[in-house]
Structure 1
């Protein structure tokens, strides 16, 4: 299930993200919690059970308040997701000095995004096609752009290179998360699943008709003990993506 950032009231999300106070005074008793407390509770639910488990009612229950009282902090789930995304994006250490060399810098960016997605798999369900630009989101984007600054690229090319890295990492992380979740949900490892499935496949699969698939599939199956190796695929693909970016940079210099 894909959830779209800014799916609620983007204006209200921006006000909450940037701490813009409404002009009207708040009525009623003093709040028991802060907005950070609400977001932290929602984050704990999302990390433990997935984004589908996050609801205003569930967060309120975990905080020991009524769902109605929670609306005094945030208008609804859509805005809460905007706050969640900016919260976890803030885990990227933008104070860390970028490595020397564009290739090492972009690899660093890729690994930061990879690790972030594996820590918070639900993040892969949130579309960034209409991002609500909170402070952490903008800080992360600025940090990543600095990885390709001073290389002779245009502003648009800089953005496209960073997007290429983050989009590639997003897809690779999705494969890794799905592979991990398959084992968790079925209670069987990939090897156990294939051992059960293989006898039937042997009856219907004709190696003579598909010789290339038979040869390659047999070798990689023996190597991976699974249908794929997401971590190895990420490493291999990242090197190829960086090679392609290198060709772009060299072309600009030539």
Structure 2
């Protein structure tokens, strides 16, 4: 079974596609589409119907070529996924870091930009592996830009790389949880508030305050505040603040 993660394709072919190094074609009719068109169509499919809808046949149908023809452009789905992710990374806005901005301001901007990307393309949380990113021009531009956010922190190169990975990991984890929560509401056709209300009679009987004093007290407070067991916006604000506080402690050691 093919892994639906970045970095799962054959390296030399993937890098050739990412950097526009197309193999020499045999003689024949001119190509009716270009690789960026295929990749853009695959992104549209993933956005509209989820990652499972992105098959070589579905992409072929969308661009109007035969399924077998797709393989003359892209060797397979693993390589296509790398191209999709790198294309989205390339399109991210990268305004110059302004003089006088603090590193905390810059890292907040990095986190927010990554969150916006993952909200717009939820399937990215399923495929964008931190350990094997698509090493294309989009990925490299994103990495260079985000590393520059640490320029005045005094951290050494390894700590900068680790700190950036930690920040992006937080964003990905949060967005994955937010997508799961939204999917639960969609799949059950019931909001979190309605789900808790429906289960309230059972919970009232099962949750004994004497046996679970903290769980009952704190859970009730959270439920009243959020209308759910978990609130995405609250979790984002709290989690980002904790992440930045941890990085502040690291920077202040220097």
**The two structures share one fold, judged by TM-score above 0.5:** yes
> What is the count of residue pairs matched by the alignment?
251
- In the alignment, which residue of structure 1 is the partner of 2:216? 214
SS of residue paired to 1:30 = coil
For normalisation by structure 2, the TM-score amounts to 0.94
- In the alignment, which residue of structure 2 is the partner of 1:49? 49
- In the alignment, which residue of structure 2 is the partner of 1:103? 104
Query: Is 1:3 equivalent to 2:4 in the alignment?
Result: yes
159, 168, 171: which one aligns with 1:169 = 171
User: d(CA) in 2 for partners of 1:37 and 1:114?
Assistant: 25
Structure 1, 86-95 or 159-168: larger mean CA deviation: 86-95
Alignment of structure 1 residues 51-200 onto 2, 5 Å: 51-98=51-98, 100-126=101-127, 127-200=129-202
SS of residue paired to 1:165 = helix
- Measure how far apart 1:8 and its partner are: 1.8
SS of residue paired to 1:121 = coil
Contact 1:47 1:121 in 2 (8 A): yes
Contact 1:5 1:78 in 2 (8 A): yes
User: d(CA) in 2 for partners of 1:25 and 1:208?
Assistant: 75
Contact 2:192 2:227 in 1 (8 A): yes
Gaps of 5+ in 1: none
For residues 190-243 of structure 1, what are the alpha-carbon distances to aligned partners after superposition, in whole Å with 9 as ceiling and x for unaligned?
111111122122222212110111111001101100110012111111111111
- In the alignment, which residue of structure 2 is the partner of 1:12? 13
User: d(CA) in 2 for partners of 1:201 and 1:26?
Assistant: 68
User: d(CA) in 1 for partners of 2:52 and 2:218?
Assistant: 38
User: d(CA) in 2 for partners of 1:101 and 1:204?
Assistant: 50
User: d(CA) in 1 for partners of 2:69 and 2:96?
Assistant: 39
Gaps of 5+ in 2: none
For residues 154-200 of structure 1, what are the alpha-carbon distances to aligned partners after superposition, in whole Å with 9 as ceiling and x for unaligned?
10011011111101111111111111111122211111111112212
SS of residue paired to 2:80 = helix
RMSD value over aligned CA atoms? 1.6
For normalisation by structure 1, the TM-score amounts to 0.94
Contact 1:176 1:231 in 2 (8 A): no
